[in-house]
Structure 1
Amino acid sequence: MRQKPSPPDRTFGKDRPVRVRRNGIHPALFYGSFAALFAANVVTLVALLMAPDIVGLVNGENERVIAAYEDRIAQLRIEIDRLHSRHYAQAGDVNLQLQELSQQQELLLEQHQYVRRLAEQASELGIEAAQVATGEPAAPPVPVAAAGSAADDDIAAAAQAINQMLDDSRLALSALSGAATQSTDAILGELQTIGIQPELPGPLPDAVGGPYLPPGDAPDAPGLLDEANAVAEALARFKAARGALAVAPIHPPLDGVPRTSSGFGNRMDPFTRGRAFHSGLDFPAATGTLVLSAGFGRVTFVGRKSGYGNVVEITHDDGLVTRYAHLSGFIAKEGQLVRTGMPVARVGSTGRSTGPHLHFEVRRNDRALDPARVLAAGRRLARFMGV
């Protein structure tokens, strides 16, 4: 037969059905477990009461204990903040130094490129100075989280690289400036011996400007830019002096290296066999050989002159006039501008001549100068023209 269910058991105010087992918990075991649990709770409570802080709380000293805890927490917080502040201060100082070095490096890199361009320009003009350092300094290291000897080493390495680049650039600038100035002085000295004084550009005024802004955290601009600008001015002067060479009447009137048959000054006249003054240089050449302009200028005479035969005269800067005589034919026309080396006539034997040759004169204020000195200056200055 089926057993009837027992009435519901009420536990913690809720109706919970309890299935009654045939073999239930023995009362002795139940009460023994309860006694053990109670004893454990008592031991735990005693241990808590034995703790000084808990004793203080139990004894009504809670305000003092809480205040003590708050003091300890505050002190710990202050210590932690102090440590963090010291760490971040060190890291911030490293970062600031590296940032300044990085800014200096960027400025120097820009100026270093300027120096390299100046060196390339000087090389194109024929000036070979000290080689500009082509390498670039290592970038400042990325700041690390911890500040210490490693960060200091990074700063020192970055500063050394920047200083090395600055020193290399300044050495190159000094060499370029010296070479350009020396070359310019050599050109001017040679040209002045033959009465040519080219106009060279002077230094540019130090024009500056910009809105007024209060000083910031950026580092002061290095002085390398001023030195580079000084080199640029020296190169500009050399370029102008070199340009004066290209137009000065110091170039040979015949292609190649012509032979001289008669020099400037007193000689034995080929017709009278007596002593006479020769106002130019004679260059033997085949009839029809091209006669070249000795420099840039304007053709101011094309025609015949007594004793000279067919003549072409070219007026150059500084009042110099070159005369080409005994010509067999004309190429240039009167009033025409001619460049250095441009054909203006052909060799002949017209006028007072014993055979085909070019009579070449250089004159100032209708006074004959020694063409040999003029052409010799041109030969000495040829190294500045890449000839």
Structure 2
Amino acid sequence: MFALLLAGNAVTGTALLMAPDIARLMGGQNDLVISAYEDRLAQMRVEIDRLHSRSYAQAGDINLQLQELSQQQDVLLEQHQLVRALVDKADRLGLANLDLDMSGPAEFSIVTTADGNPDLAATTDNVVRMMAETQQAMTGIATAATQRADNIIGELGRLGIQTEIPDMTLTGMGGPLLAATGSGESAALVEDANAVMDALMRYKAARDSLTLAPVHMPITGNFRQSSGFGNRKDPFTGGRAFHSGLDFAAPSGTSVFSAADGVVSFVGERSGYGKVVEVEHGNGLSTRYTHLSGYLARVGQKVSIGTPIAKVGSTGRSTGPHLHFEVRRADQALDPKPFLDAGKRLLAIL
């Protein structure tokens, strides 16, 4: 027992004497562990900072792309407004049957992926597609206006009628040289819209010229062409004689209409013609309506296409109720049939 107690005391004393060294040993190990842990934390901080920097960079790229998309949206909205204005202008000019769907506003939205992140590629494709559609609409308006203007000019040209078209080649401009501002896309859009407007104004000029050409039927309803232009068998003498117009057999009292815009230049009787109304159209052409039973117009009256000017009759050298219709240039009779045929073709086109 004594030996055991002595040994225990010896161990205890030794431990007390060596406690500072053990403490320093344990402290040194803890310092190593803590130092290693702090090094690991520092590495993790560096990695986290790197990830944050990458995320910020990606976010910056996204924001930059979104800003570019926003600018494209502005151009798209401006483009749509211009196209809408051009469509309205085309409607007023009689181009209302164009196959253009511009009833709704141009919609712009950010496409997102399944995880809610913006799909910039899909969004960009949508914007590009919508801009292409509005550009196609502008091209469609310009093409339709150009084709129809060319048809009118061609038809009237074959009739010897010169169409007054405004000179779209005038390019006078000036001003001080200043640095460019704003979007280049927006400037190009305005130039495209101006080109479309030029085509519309050219079509308007051609269509206005058409209103002065006697290419519209002077009578409607139940009638038949009873005699043509040129040499024929005279209904009274039976011999060959020249017929200076077209005859349309119709019931007495049927309305007779002006074949074009113009001013009534004569109302009265002429030898062989009976009762007559004549209209000047201001382009070297006039029309004559004869064998009438009554007048609905007076000298000096401005008339338009389809204005009632007289009634069908059988006055003068006539075998029965009909309208004798003439087209004249410099008091020389022209065949009215090419004029009326051109009117039918243009009516089908327009």
Q: TM-score range by the shorter chain?
A: 0.7 to 0.9
Contact 1:48 1:54 in 2 (8 A): no
1:96 is aligned to 2:64: yes
Map 1:70-219 → 2, pairs under 5 A: 84-119=52-87, 121-122=89-90, 125-126=94-95, 128-132=97-101, 136=106, 138-140=108-110, 154-203=119-168, 212=178
Contact 1:127 1:179 in 2 (8 A): no
CA deviation profile, 1:63-83 (whole Å, cap 9, x unmatched): xxxxxxxx9999998876665
Deviation at 1:197, TM superposition (A): 2.4
Partner residue in 2 for 1:304: 269
| Distance in 1 between residues matched to 2:54 and 2:184, nearest whole Å | 25
**SS of equivalent to 1:221:** helix
Contact 2:90 2:141 in 1 (8 A): yes
Map 1:204-353 → 2, pairs under 5 A: 212=178, 220-221=185-186, 223-256=188-221, 258-353=223-318
| Distance in 2 between residues matched to 1:329 and 1:44, nearest whole Å | 140
What letter matches 1:364 in structure 2? Answer: R
Identity of aligned residues (%): 52
Cα distance change of structure 1 residues 44 and 338 upon mapping to structure 2, 3 Å threshold? farther
Cα distance change of structure 1 residues 165 and 335 upon mapping to structure 2, 3 Å threshold? same
| Distance in 2 between residues matched to 1:339 and 1:222, nearest whole Å | 42
Cα distance change of structure 1 residues 310 and 347 upon mapping to structure 2, 3 Å threshold? same
What letter matches 1:197 in structure 2? Answer: Q
Contact 1:127 1:180 in 2 (8 A): no
Contact 1:299 1:337 in 2 (8 A): yes
Deviation at 1:249, TM superposition (A): 1.5
Further displaced range: 306-315 or 238-247 = 238-247
How many pairs does the alignment contain? 329
Partner residue in 2 for 1:58: none
Return the TM-score normalized by structure 1: 0.71
Deviation at 1:162, TM superposition (A): 1.0
Over the aligned positions, Cα root-mean-square deviation in angstroms equals: 4.1
| Distance in 2 between residues matched to 1:360 and 1:345, nearest whole Å | 12
Deviation at 1:156, TM superposition (A): 0.8
Return the TM-score normalized by structure 2: 0.77
| Distance in 2 between residues matched to 1:45 and 1:115, nearest whole Å | 91
- In structure 1, list runs of 5 or more residues that go unmatched: 1-42, 56-70
| Distance in 1 between residues matched to 2:301 and 2:99, nearest whole Å | 44
Greater C-alpha radius of gyration: 1
| Distance in 2 between residues matched to 1:176 and 1:235, nearest whole Å | 8
Contact 2:295 2:311 in 1 (8 A): yes
- In structure 2, list runs of 5 or more residues that go unmatched: 1-18, 32-38
**SS of equivalent to 1:334:** coil
What letter matches 1:259 in structure 2? Answer: R
**SS of equivalent to 2:343:** helix
CA deviation profile, 1:311-369 (whole Å, cap 9, x unmatched): 11111031101011122222211111111111212222222222222111000011110
CA deviation profile, 1:358-384 (whole Å, cap 9, x unmatched): 111000011110011111111111124
